[in-house]
Amino acid sequence: MADRQQTDPAPQWWSRPEGTAGGRAPGVPAPRPGAAGAAGDTGDEAAVTVAVTEPSPAGTSPDEAPPAPGPRYDPWGEQPLQIVDRGGKRGGFRLWQVAVVGVAAALFAGAAGGWIGVLAERRSSTRLELPQAAVADKGRAPESVAGIAATALPGVVTLHVRGEKSGGTGTGFVLDAQGHILTNNHVVAGAKEIAVTFSTGESVTAELVGRDSGYDLAVVKVGGVRGLRPLSLGNSENVRVGDPVVAIGAPFDLSNTVTAGIISATGRPVTAGGDKGDGSDISYVDALQTDAPINPGNSGGPLLDARAHVVGINSAIRGADKDDPTRQGGSIGLGFAIPINQGKRVAEELIATGRATHPVIGVTLDMDYTGDGARVGDKAEDGKPSVVAGGPAARAGIRAGDVITKVDGQRVRGGDELIVKIRAHRPGDRLTLTVEREGRDRTLEVVLGSANGS
């Protein structure tokens, strides 16, 4: 609309605001805001407004105006009926809210991404792979401990023995395809039932073929077993101190246990047994000494050389002194084995006849003698002469009271040691004995006789 003064008659529904001072001539509109002389003008004249009166309908008084047809627009009212949208308070996120939402979204995205990555990695592989050497050739050099064990284990067995009052565990090894197995006498002594378990886990019942307490050796036999793997027998005369050896057994019933060491000494005089008190169960062994760990349950197991040949039968260990408070029952590195040459001869006799023979010289020794050497007693236990008439010693010229100090040039320090040296040979072997008599040494030659073992 053009900016011009309104001269048209005022609408009939206009009304004067309350509190308007003065009146205005009929037909004169109110001044426009901002015009000279309008209310709020800074001039000295007071603002003048026009009072407009509406004609009253017929039958009504001026004081009683007819009801208005709805709300009227009052240009002087404080608030108009229509509200103009001026933009107002806009909705949405402010800057800090956007930042918070962004950080939260980033954290969530990072966590979700990490979880998805882990899940993807787990699904892409069945297991976590760490660096590892490739599978190599499982074969071992025949002379290595592993190679010796692989060769010998199929021929080593574990024996579970049950007696009238107790039982025990020992070891043995296969001698031949007929099922003969060599072990220690003290493993099967008093046995009522013998079970043999092979390295494969198969168990069968065995029967006793023969045993000898003097050599602490025994042979049992299994039947109906195919694929037996006899061990090769070596020659104990070839053994030297320092040679590597491997022992196989069942210490504390731990079958197929393999230990290794060296030959610590040869020709060790070892005695064991003697539980009966009369000496009939004492075993005398010219033993091989080894530091390969041997424990209860190893008895009867093989001692093998670098070619997996049996050179000894593990039989005894030396523990700490009985009165030593630190005494231990297991191995302290002092193990003893019966030389295989002796074991072979005894095994052959046990398989053939059920009994073994012992080489003898035909004397009774004074076991209470404390001097150096083995003294021939004055009398036998039954009162008979200590030198058997017509026996090997009598034929060689040995007399009662003689002290035997050497056997084939090897020093003898006591009666037990003399018996060990003699039993290391076969009946019929020829030995040279050094005898001290009346302060003089004599050299005598004796041919060993034979006696049945126990």
Q: Is the pLDDT of residue 238 over 50?
A: yes
User: What secondary structure, in 3-state letters, does 340-367 show?
Assistant: HHHHHHHHHHHHHHCCCEEEECCECECC
- What tokens were used for 323? 């009165």
Residue range 229-239: mean pLDDT, rounded: 97
- Cα-Cα-Cα-Cα dihedral sign, residues 294, 300, 302, 303: positive
For position 132, what pLDDT does the model report?
86
Instruction: For residue 118, give the 3-state DSSP assignment.
Output: helix
Inter-residue contact 414 to 370 (CB < 8 Å) = no
Q: Is the pLDDT of residue 124 over 80?
A: no
Confidence of residue 38 (pLDDT cuts 50, 70, 90): very low
Specify the range with the lowest mean pLDDT, choosing from 32-46, 156-170, 415-429.
32-46
For position 382, what pLDDT does the model report?
83
Q: Is the pLDDT of residue 62 over 60?
A: no
Inter-residue contact 15 to 54 (CB < 8 Å) = no
Q: Is the pLDDT of residue 15 over 50?
A: no
Q: Is the pLDDT of residue 63 over 70?
A: no
For position 137, what pLDDT does the model report?
83
Model confidence pTM above 0.85: no
Specify the range with the lowest mean pLDDT, choosing from 118-132, 222-236, 345-359.
118-132
Q: Is the pLDDT of residue 426 over 50?
A: yes
Q: Which of 66, 58, 454 is nearest to 284 (CA)?
A: 454
The residue ranking higher by pLDDT, 177 or 105, is: 177
pLDDT digits (tens, 9 = 90+) for 245-287: 999 999 999 999 999 999 999 999 998 876 665 556 688 899 9
Q: Is the pLDDT of residue 160 over 60?
A: yes
Q: Is the pLDDT of residue 321 over 70?
A: no
The per-residue DSSP string of 383-418 comes to: SSBSB-TTSHHHHHT--TT-EEEEETTEE--SHHHH
Q: Is the pLDDT of residue 290 over 90?
A: yes
List the beta strands (DSSP E) in 232-346.
244-249, 257-272, 283-290, 302-304, 310-317, 335-339
The residue ranking higher by pLDDT, 303 or 167, is: 303
The residues assigned a catalytic role are 186, 216, 299
For position 70, what pLDDT does the model report?
53
For position 212, what pLDDT does the model report?
94
Give the number of other Cβ atoms within 10 Å of residue 240's Cβ: 8
